[in-house]
Amino acid sequence: MPEAEVPSRKPTLFEAIVAIAAAALCIGIGVLVLGVDVHVPLVFATAFVCLMGRYLLHFQWKDMEDGIFRGILAGLQAVLILMIVGMIIGSWIQGGVVPTLIYYGLSLLSPAIFLLATLLICSIVSLATGTSWGTSGTVGLALMGIAAGLGVPAPLAAGVVISGAYFGDKMSPLSDTTNLAPAVAGTTLFSHIRAMISTTMITYAIVIIITLVIGFKFAGGTLDVSRIQAFQKLLATEFHISPLGFIPPIVVILLAALRFPAIPSLFAGVVLGSIMILFQGSGLATMVTAIHYGYTPVLSAEIAGAESLDAVSALLASKGITDVAPELAKEVAQMLSELLQRGGLDSMMWTVSLIFCALSFGGVMERCGFLEVLLDSLLRHVESVTGLITSVIFACIFTNILLADQYVAIVLPGRMFKSAFDKKGLHPRMLSRTLEDSGTLTSVLVPWNTCGAYHTGVLGVPTLQYLPYAFLNYLNPIVAIVLTAMGKFIFWRKETDEDVINV
């Protein structure tokens, strides 16, 4: 019989494990050994799985190509939303919305509630920007310095910073993972966010109580007011800080609460951000540039790049800032410059390309039957909804450990378990919620994961040292399992559901 006519077959469990192991090897060598981005290693992993599918399982190329296209199709809405999110971030920074949130957030600091304030500030900034990495590397880093002055142990401070940063990253419609999870599961963005409220807010309330109790130990510390004032003065000089800056996020939140579709709701944020840019006194060209390429810092960049402290003093004096030490101003300006230089349509292309790579890999794994075989093995003795949720959580954790990337830890288990959730009659938002409860949050707890390595480098605290204090990140999966076991917040699929996307 000619090779082209050999019928395709289902892979064995061993072959499925080989496919996963090969992917882990490609990604591990690329990310951990070579220190490169995960994109190309994912492409090579996809190529290897395609070779297995073609020459071992006898699938035709058109079959695997169809799997790739179906995988990418599942994420197209998320890609479009992410592009709008990039435009929102650029317009909200240029328009002073994000600086306003940071400015008022820093006003929450007090020695008696420093840990709680740190949690809230990082949550606010991450909600506003949609990035845990950016929050931890800027505002989080500044709070680490303040914590040192109060005598708060660095691992404790780092854990609270990460808890706040990942709360915002998980719940913000501007976050890439928050858009990716519903795309993979087959539901809409705002349906996904509403589903996360139950598990996440209960966990967040527990974390608030923990930080309050622990924080009382440091109530007698002296707050580094000068650093906070430096942040606020530089922000108020570079932007027009006004309560009007709260309007765009409030409108987007209200539209989400009223169940408006995600794309027009988020684009309303772009329109309002554009209006805020004009209120800042910028022209149309600046507005369009910020939406396309993001914000380019001005004063903070000039101070951060000044060649001498005398030059910093001159810049401060020219802006009427006379009560901030040049050394502190330069340090704070560097942090602000790194935080604010982001956003824009172009900024999302890195994430978009990664999503395409990850979805292509997941699509081939699914089309060739590898995911089905792995799922059958995993769920052989799982009958309850609790068992299914627990299986997803552990699959995400295992993927974070094995493949060292949170995006893959969302896509791969998401594609793997989607059919099981459909068979159980569960709403897709149950799957998307669980992917975020575990895949997003536990990535930073793995030392060799991209998220864990980044935060260790930025905050200067080894992953295993801050892990016990990243309360939200490891309590949320536990809360999700407990609530499901209690029969609470379980969403079943109905024929009338309009927030289900068949992918």
pLDDT tens string 339-367: 778 788 988 888 788 778 877 888 888 88
**Between residues 5 and 425, the one the model is more confident about:** 425
Longest Cα separation, the chain: 86
**Between residues 7 and 95, the one the model is more confident about:** 95
- Residues 272, 248: contact at Cβ < 8 Å? yes
Q: Is the pLDDT of residue 222 over 80?
A: no
Locate 477 and state its tokens.
């999966």
With CA atoms as reference, report the closest residue to 133 among 361, 352, 449, 474.
Answer: 449
Which pLDDT belongs to residue 503? 58
Locate 149 and state its tokens.
């002055």
pLDDT tens string 68-82: 888 788 677 777 877
Count of C-beta atoms within a 10 Å radius of residue 422 = 16
In this prediction, residues 52-56 reach a mean pLDDT of 91
Pairwise CA distance, residues 191 & 201, whole Å: 16
- Residues 359, 408: contact at Cβ < 8 Å? no
Dihedral, CA atoms, 193, 195, 198, 204, nearest 10 degrees? -30
Amino acid at 499: D
- Residues 38, 407: contact at Cβ < 8 Å? yes
pLDDT tens string 156-213: 999 999 999 999 889 988 888 898 899 889 999 999 999 999 999 999 999 999 999 9
pLDDT tens string 450-461: 788 788 877 888
Pairwise CA distance, residues 441 & 396, whole Å: 10
Which pLDDT belongs to residue 149? 55
pLDDT tens string 124-133: 888 877 888 8
Query: Scanning the structure block, which residue is given the tokens 């539901």?
Result: 187
What is the DSSP-derived secondary structure letter of residue 346?
A: G
Which pLDDT belongs to residue 5? 64
502: pLDDT confidence band, cut at 50, 70 and 90? low
pLDDT tens string 389-429: 999 999 899 888 877 678 888 988 898 899 889 989 999 99
Q: What percent of the chain has pLDDT over 90?
A: 33
Q: Coil, strand, or helix at residue 402?
A: helix
Pairwise CA distance, residues 83 & 351, whole Å: 10
With CA atoms as reference, report the closest residue to 270 among 287, 255, 284, 254.
Answer: 287
Which ranges constitute the DSSP H helices of 2-140? 13-28, 39-51, 61-74, 76-94, 97-106, 114-129, 132-135
Pairwise CA distance, residues 255 & 265, whole Å: 6
Count of C-beta atoms within a 10 Å radius of residue 2 = 5
Burial of 14 (0-12, 13-18, 19+ CB in 10 A): exposed
